[in-house]
Amino acid sequence: MARGAEFAACLATAGACETRLMPIPRLRDFHNDDLDQVVRIWEESRTPGQRAVHGLAEVLAAIREEGFAVVVVVGDVVVGAAATRVSGDRAWVVLMALANDWRGKGLGSAMLTEIEKRLTGRGVHRLSALVAGGETGEKAFRNCGYEPRDLRYFERIVPLQPQEVGLLGELGGRMLPGGLWEALAGMEHEKQIIERRIVMPLVDPDLADEYGVEPPRAIVLFGPPGTGKTTFAKAVASRLGWPFLEVFPSRLAAAGGGQALALRETFAEIDDLEHVVVFIDEVEEIAGERGGKPPSPLQGVTNELLKIIPAFRERDDRLLVCATNFVRALDPAFLRHGRFDYVIPVGPPDTAARAAIWRRYIPASVLARIDVDTLVEASELFTPADIEFAARQGSQRALEVEVYGDAKGRPEVRGPATGDYLAALGATRPTLTTTIVDEFTEDIATIARL
């Protein structure tokens, strides 16, 4: 049947009188000159508030490279387009788009019929399509005999454009593996605060906007050394699925032209990234309290950072995380409202957190016979990093005794025992002191902003 006859048959369903009144559409192969009109049709066919299964970049790549496309034109105006991506003996329909005024007239079915005829001659015997419910073309697929399959569609969007990969590598950033947030042992209080205040508004900005909540742009994590501030920053990046980029104050000091210039240039490059978690550890090195005569050379760096933060905050989908062990040393202007949304304490692990950390690092094969409560009580002033070190040392001690030492008096079952971990605790100097904990408690009362 000729193409004109096919269209006559398709349009007959819309009513004979309508076919006499409306211009007769014509189906033909896609030409490069059609590209702008196809983009317009694609935009017009999208369902508001629903992300397309196949993005525009994927559709255009399929048309230009290995796929096949047809368009429906009325005069010189494109009113419909369909495109496929071919892989071996299978073709995926990645585009089915119709102008609003030309829907429900059989054009979608006609395009699918033509595509099937063309691709069958090229050895393709399986045509597939992923279509969201209610999306343009759903009726056409059913009319042309496409069988709906009860499948579960999974998708993950990596927020890193190809052109950003090289820049991220040059800056020393990287995509972190998923699951770091879930792997955080203990510290449930801190996790809950960060999940609710930081992560949730960034993950669902539309919901946040509905409630008048502005997603955070910059936060400070403070607390004693070894309490997990860096781990939390990385876990947030993993949870968001954003690249993680650490700015090292020590490297800025080594840069030619001075720290202030190096800091400005670094953030100018960061500005080209669409999504990113920027982390500055030991930020007190470049944001210490200003003052004194003559002015310290570091004051210029502090001034530069104070100017950079408001500009950084103007963009969505970016988060600055600064961490410090000495929050009292920071310049008061650095912490004021308008620069940082939250100033969050990350302190020593409580009883429940210490138990969770011990259970994470004790081998699962021996955990049932380890007296975790005794270890928790004995590690009161230990940070998560201290407990991890002691747990690994205890396991190492048990291994060495088993292989090289005198195993008399040890349980007959193999593996570490509670005594091995207690011995490791006794040989480990805790990071915290009661004085440090008392000062941290005062800082929570006077500086924290939640």
218-222 vs 342-345, strand pairing mode: parallel
Residue 142: both structure tokens together: 């059913």
pLDDT of residue 17: 38
Residue in this structure with the two tokens 């800025």, named with its chain if needed? 252
Is pTM beyond 0.85 here?
no
pLDDT of residue 8: 45
pLDDT of residue 4: 45
Provide the β-strand partners of residue 73.
Answer: 26, 78
Buried b (16+ CB within 10 A) or exposed e, 227-261: bbbbbbbbbbbbbbbbbbbbbebeebeeeeeebbe
pLDDT of residue 343: 95
Provide the β-strand partners of residue 129.
Answer: 93
3-class DSSP state for residue 247? strand
* DSSP state at residue 227: S
How many Cα atoms occupy the beta-carbon half-sphere of 369 within 13 Å? Answer: 11
* DSSP state at residue 288: B
Q: Which amino acid is at 377?
A: E
Residue 435: both structure tokens together: 């004085």
Relative orientation angle of helices 298-312 and 259-270, to the nearest 10 degrees: 10
CB atoms inside a 10 Å sphere around CB 163: 8
CB proximity list for 45: less than 8 A, separation 6 or greater: 96, 97, 98, 135, 136, 137
pLDDT of residue 214: 93
Evaluate the CA torsion angle 429, 432, 434, 436 in order and state its sign: positive
Q: Are the beta carbons of 255 and 249 closer than 8 angstroms? A: no
Whole-angstrom Cα distance, residue 245 to residue 111? Answer: 47
User: Cα–chain-centroid distance for residue 104?
Assistant: 40
Residue in this structure with the two tokens 């950003």, named with its chain if needed? 164
Q: Are the beta carbons of 363 and 418 closer than 8 angstroms? A: no
Whole-angstrom Cα distance, residue 273 to residue 175? Answer: 13
pLDDT of residue 444: 94
Q: Are the beta carbons of 444 and 345 closer than 8 angstroms? A: yes
Task: Count the residues in the chain.
Answer: 450
pLDDT of residue 171: 84
Q: Which amino acid is at 223?
A: G
Residue range 10-48, pLDDT digits in tens: 444 444 334 445 578 899 999 888 888 988 888 888 776
Which domains, ranges and CATH numbers included, belong to the chain?
Answer: 3-143 (3.40.630.30), 162-183+214-343 (3.40.50.300), 351-431 (1.10.8.60)
Whole-angstrom Cα distance, residue 135 to residue 313? Answer: 37
Mean per-residue pLDDT pooled into runs of 10, the chain (450 residues): 46 43 81 88 77 79 78 91 87 88 88 87 84 75 84 67 76 87 83 94 91 94 92 93 88 66 88 91 84 61 88 91 93 88 93 92 92 95 93 92 70 81 94 93 93
Residue in this structure with the two tokens 């020590």, named with its chain if needed? 250
pLDDT of residue 295: 53
CB proximity list for 13: less than 8 A, separation 6 or greater: 105, 106
pLDDT of residue 411: 58
Angle at alpha carbon of residue 36, lines to 33 and 37, rounded to 5°? 95
CB proximity list for 373: less than 8 A, separation 6 or greater: 355
CB atoms inside a 10 Å sphere around CB 396: 13
Residue range 169-185, pLDDT digits in tens: 888 888 888 888 988 87
CB proximity list for 326: less than 8 A, separation 6 or greater: 284
Which of 207-212's residues contact partners 24+ apart within 8 Å by CB, and which partners?
none
Peptide bond into 294 cis (omega under 30): yes
